[in-house]
Structure 1
Amino acid sequence: MTQPLLDVDKLSVTFQLPTGPVTAVKDVSFSIAEGETLALVGESGSGKSVTSTAAMRLLPELAKTTGAIRFNGENLLEVSAKRMRRVRGNDISMIFQEPMTSLNPLHRIGRQIGEVLVKHKGLKGDANRRRVLELLNQVGIPEPERRFSSYPYELSGGQRQRVMIAMALACEPKLLIADEPTTALDVTVQAQILDLLKSLQTQYGMAILFITHDLSIVRHFADHVAVMRQGEVVESGRTVEVFDAPQHDYTRMLLDAIPRGRKVPAPADAPVMLSARDVKVRFTTKRRLFGGNDHFEAVRGIDLTVRRGETLGIVGESGSGKSTLGRALLRLLKSEGDIRFEETDLAPLDKSGMRPLRSKLQVVFQDPFGSLSPRMTVGDIISEGLKVHRPEMNRRQREAEVIAALEEVALDPGMRNRYPHEFSGGQRQRIAIARALILKPELLLLDEPTSALDRSVQVRVIDLLRDLQAKYGLTYLFISHDLSVVRALSDDVLVMKEGRVIEQGPVETIFTSPKEPYTQALLKAAFLEEEVAA
């Protein structure tokens, strides 16, 4: 039998914390052969990233590791630090989830890739530059000569991820560890990155350890899969076999954690809640030396109508203008055009004029950890709006409203004196929804409210939003690049690209019979192409 390239044998990782030892990985075993892709899947906290970091010997000193991690027969847990430095980059490389935090913002792209070649290959001068340009071209960076001198902030998210791949491949490693490399990317960019990794794998014959919580990617990308839960591998095998006949209840739960069902349509004669005509948003990008400004038009003349109890899904890639449009509709950004909420014309209203309407127009943001103050208790966060919009209420009345709001989103009111960091991502998003609901709003702007959550948590949040909408007749503006979530929640869909509406209509029409090539590309990239009519 051929020896595997990487063999992880009964790996355990325990962190020695002041409060006591915490075991993050327990007796994990799996192997990867040359040229093979193994996907390590599971929810947040399952131990996937700790396992991959252990393979690179990058865990902090407070981590105690037992078992064996054999690479080409050599146990990496027993080699010297000097030997391990030779293995990293040369034989094993890693792509991290967020390239913006992995790339040095003060150094140009060419220099950062070139450092890898200097360190591991001793390649300097013109030879170094030629190899860097070759790598940039290989990973599909446009105008590599110009991008060689660019800083990370001058590149898009997809381009920064390609730079990370170029750095990882600089020394032609035998094993590439990709830790959630597409999570923060649009579906079309995600598809491009996956295609790129597959083609480079074929070219170099390298093995890939692919870490993700997105099972739709795994089905299309991996040869084998290992499912992790609470630090343990609960099931493993060929991807096709695990997906078609899962043996473990947890695997079945993950596979079943996809948004199902369709929204119950609002009454056809429901009154118009929000309407907009020819909405435009312009940002000043540059002030000229001799007067005048240069402008960037982020939203370009958009019309829409949303009735009470409806959900309008707004989709598109990053930079398409969808979040800018949402904020403009709620007058959180200066805009041009006609915007009406019920019978009120919002266009002429200033900040003070909008204040009485704010309780009716609420927002739930993408990252609840960033939008919830870490210095306030959950009870104070949720009741904050009441102090502004219901000043006549006393403390006891506000607390009663907080308790009711927490119960509404299925959270224990007894936890209202805790702080945001003591809650999971899904619980924090429920807290953000409770904060919005406590003011009894009529319209909610939901800006990517599920994109940072595990699939199983996403499904629970979607069910909660559906229930709340049915109970209170809420109207939603739902902004997302996750098309399966949009389909499950929306009545109508508006597809945006470069600030314009490319296509709009009923959700089923858009998903089953898209007319525009851009919409078709979005569906295909999201692995929903089987639902597009021939």
Structure 2
Amino acid sequence: MTQSLLEIDKLSVTFQLPTGAVTAVKEVSLSIAEGETLALVGESGSGKSVTSTATLRLLPELAQTQGAIRFDGEDLLAVTPRRMRRIRGNDISMIFQEPMTSLNPLHRVGRQIGEVLTKHKGLHGSAKRRRVLDLLQQVGIPEPERRIDSYPYELSGGQRQRVMIAMALACEPRLLIADEPTTALDVTVQAQILDLLKSLQAKYGMAILFITHDLSIVRHFADKVCVMRYGEVVESGPTHEVFDAPRHDYTRMLLDAIPRGRKIPAPADSPVLLSARDVKVRFALKKRLFGKSDYFDAVRGIDLSVRRGETLGIVGESGSGKSTLGRALLRLLKSEGDIRLGETDLSALDKSGMRPLRSRLQVVFQDPFGSLSPRMTVGDIVSEGLKVHHPELNRRQREAEVIAALEEVALDPGMRNRYPHEFSGGQRQRIAIARALILKPELLLLDEPTSALDRSVQVRVIDLLRNLQQKYGLTYLFISHDLSVVRALSDDVLVMKEGQVIEQGPTEQLFSAPRETYTQALIKAAFLDDDAA
């Protein structure tokens, strides 16, 4: 048998809170050999990240640990803080989920990578700079001589994640912990990052502890899998065994949590609700000499139409113009071109002219926690639109509407006096949907509404959206980079790249026989060959 590089033996982590003790990890045991990839999977709150953080001894002081974490035979829970600092970053490195919050926005990326080399390898000056350039080149950063002096905000999401990988690999660690490293990335960038990690693993022979809730990635990437739930490992084994013959009900539920089925078509005689012709959005950049400005064309002459009861899926990578187009269609951004809601010419209306129509056009955003006011109760959040658009309603009537809206999205109306932080991610997204539905809109713009959710929660939200659409004849503009969700919800799909539509058509036709190379690459990167029909 191959000797384990990392061995976690009956690890338990308990947090001593003012309200009492909470055990986040319960007697977890796992092992990883040199050059092996172990995927730690489970939904939010299952204890995945706590387990990895305990491995690096980065838990807060209120956490108490029991058990053993042995790295190359040495118990990390028993070593001195000084010895742990030598191991951390040198022998064991970590890539975090959100690089923008992990990288210092005030320092150039070259300096941040260089700090690791100075601390652990004693490199300075030109030797350090050469090593940083080499690392940037290894992780596929274009023009490393220029990007070494860039700030994090000047890089794309994929480039920032590559910088995090370069920083983690600076000292050629023997174990790399990757905590949801691809969650916020487009499918093509996600595939590139996974390929990069695999190639670097082969080059350095390092072990990888890969933490994720995306099982389609695990199937392609990991040698072994540990499934966690409520702080415990409920199933583990070689990846192909766990996927082909799962033993635990929870594992089977996770594997079945794929958006399935296809949308019921709208009636053939449904009228066109929203149409657009030659829509353009241009953003002014910094001014040049003599008062002239540079411009960025975010949306470049797009035509589309959506019938009542239909869903138009809008897909493409970050920066392709998806969200900008959606906001322009709802007149939330200044644009050129002709936009019509039924027979009403929206492009001819100013802000005051649009105000009476706002109740017919509503938005559900990607991050419900960011779009819900933390200072307002759920009842106040959901009823806010009624106060603006239906001031004739009294307090009792508004409360009745709020109760009905919460019941519509399968939330207990008794919780309407709670605040957003007291709800899970899936519940917060339901609150956001209720806030939009209470005004009885005709059109909903859904901007990445499921990307921040676990797969099982995603499926429930998708089912909810389908049911509401069938019940009320709603029309959706569904923006997403998750192609499996788009396929399950959409009648037609529009593929965007660099502000232009490069392909569009009926959903099944586009997914089964994409014409454009870019569309083919998106579908391949999404691992849709594994999804059920």
Give the TM interval when normalised to the shorter protein.
over 0.9
Matched, 1:494 2:494: yes
Distance 1:243 1:528 in 2: 16
1:414 is matched with 414
Could you list the per-position Cα deviations for residues 58-102 of structure 1 after superposition, in whole angstroms to 9, with x for gaps in the alignment? 000000000000000000000000000000111100000001111
1:376 is matched with 376
Distance 2:199 2:54 in 1: 27
1:157 is matched with 157
Residue type at the aligned position of 2:475: T
1:216 is matched with 216
Distance 2:268 2:301 in 1: 26
Equivalent position SS for 2:268:
coil
Distance 2:447 2:316 in 1: 12
Residue type at the aligned position of 1:208: I
Q: Closer, same or farther in 2 for the Cα pair 1:531/1:518, shift >3 Å? A: farther
Residue type at the aligned position of 2:330: L
Could you list the per-position Cα deviations for residues 97-156 of structure 1 after superposition, in whole angstroms to 9, with x for gaps in the alignment? 001111111111111111111100101111111111111100001111111111111111
Q: Name the count of aligned residue pairs.
A: 532
Could you list the per-position Cα deviations for residues 336-358 of structure 1 after superposition, in whole angstroms to 9, with x for gaps in the alignment? 00000001000111111001100
1:434 is matched with 434
Q: 1:99-178 to 2 correspondence within 5 Å?
A: 99-178=99-178
Equivalent position SS for 2:126:
helix
Whether the aligned pair in 2 keeps the contact of 1:215 and 1:255 (CA below 8 Å) is: yes
1:254 is matched with 254
Output the TM-score relative to the length of structure 1. Answer: 0.99
Q: 1:224-235 to 2 correspondence within 5 Å?
A: 224-235=224-235
Whether the aligned pair in 1 keeps the contact of 2:40 and 2:228 (CA below 8 Å) is: yes
Could you list the per-position Cα deviations for residues 359-410 of structure 1 after superposition, in whole angstroms to 9, with x for gaps in the alignment? 0000000000000000000000000000011110000000000000000000
Q: 1:230-249 to 2 correspondence within 5 Å?
A: 230-249=230-249
Residue 319 (structure 1) shift: 0.3
Distance 2:452 2:472 in 1: 26
1:312 is matched with 312
Whether the aligned pair in 2 keeps the contact of 1:278 and 1:338 (CA below 8 Å) is: yes
Residue type at the aligned position of 1:496: M
Residue 292 (structure 1) shift: 2.0
2:400 is matched with 400
Whether the aligned pair in 1 keeps the contact of 2:484 and 2:531 (CA below 8 Å) is: no
Distance 2:294 2:138 in 1: 35
Distance 2:122 2:460 in 1: 52
Residue 528 (structure 1) shift: 1.8
Matched, 1:265 2:265: yes
Equivalent position SS for 1:278:
strand
2:50 is matched with 50
1:80 is matched with 80
Whether the aligned pair in 1 keeps the contact of 2:95 and 2:177 (CA below 8 Å) is: yes
1:193 is matched with 193
Distance 2:440 2:112 in 1: 51
Residue 529 (structure 1) shift: 4.8
1:205 is matched with 205
Residue 531 (structure 1) shift: 8.4
1:517 is matched with 517
Residue type at the aligned position of 1:448: E
Q: 1:31-42 to 2 correspondence within 5 Å?
A: 31-42=31-42
1:302 is matched with 302
Residue 2 (structure 1) shift: 3.9
Residue type at the aligned position of 2:65: T
RMSD: 0.9
Distance 1:233 1:528 in 2: 28
Distance 2:529 2:511 in 1: 9
**Worse overlay, 347-356 or 282-291:** 282-291
Distance 1:57 1:531 in 2: 38
Whether the aligned pair in 1 keeps the contact of 2:285 and 2:295 (CA below 8 Å) is: yes
Whether the aligned pair in 2 keeps the contact of 1:511 and 1:531 (CA below 8 Å) is: no
Residue 294 (structure 1) shift: 1.1
Q: Closer, same or farther in 2 for the Cα pair 1:529/1:252, shift >3 Å? A: closer
Whether the aligned pair in 1 keeps the contact of 2:157 and 2:185 (CA below 8 Å) is: yes
Residue type at the aligned position of 1:251: T
Distance 1:65 1:303 in 2: 59
Distance 1:497 1:114 in 2: 35
Residue 289 (structure 1) shift: 2.8
Residue type at the aligned position of 2:110: G
Distance 2:531 2:25 in 1: 39
Whether the aligned pair in 2 keeps the contact of 1:512 and 1:531 (CA below 8 Å) is: no
Residue 530 (structure 1) shift: 6.8
Matched, 1:506 2:500: no
Residue 172 (structure 1) shift: 0.5
Residue 3 (structure 1) shift: 2.6
Equivalent position SS for 2:484:
helix
Point out where structure 1 has 5 or more consecutive residues left out of the alignment. none
Distance 2:183 2:484 in 1: 15
Distance 1:416 1:370 in 2: 18
Residue 23 (structure 1) shift: 0.4
Distance 1:6 1:415 in 2: 44
Distance 1:531 1:296 in 2: 37
Equivalent position SS for 1:269:
coil
Equivalent position SS for 2:511:
helix
Residue type at the aligned position of 1:360: R
1:469 is matched with 469
Distance 2:396 2:167 in 1: 58
Equivalent position SS for 2:57:
coil
Residue type at the aligned position of 1:447: D
Point out where structure 2 has 5 or more consecutive residues left out of the alignment. none
Residue type at the aligned position of 1:336: E
1:388 is matched with 388
Whether the aligned pair in 1 keeps the contact of 2:213 and 2:455 (CA below 8 Å) is: yes
Equivalent position SS for 2:348:
coil
Could you list the per-position Cα deviations for residues 133-190 of structure 1 after superposition, in whole angstroms to 9, with x for gaps in the alignment? 1111000011111111111111111001001100110110000000000001000000
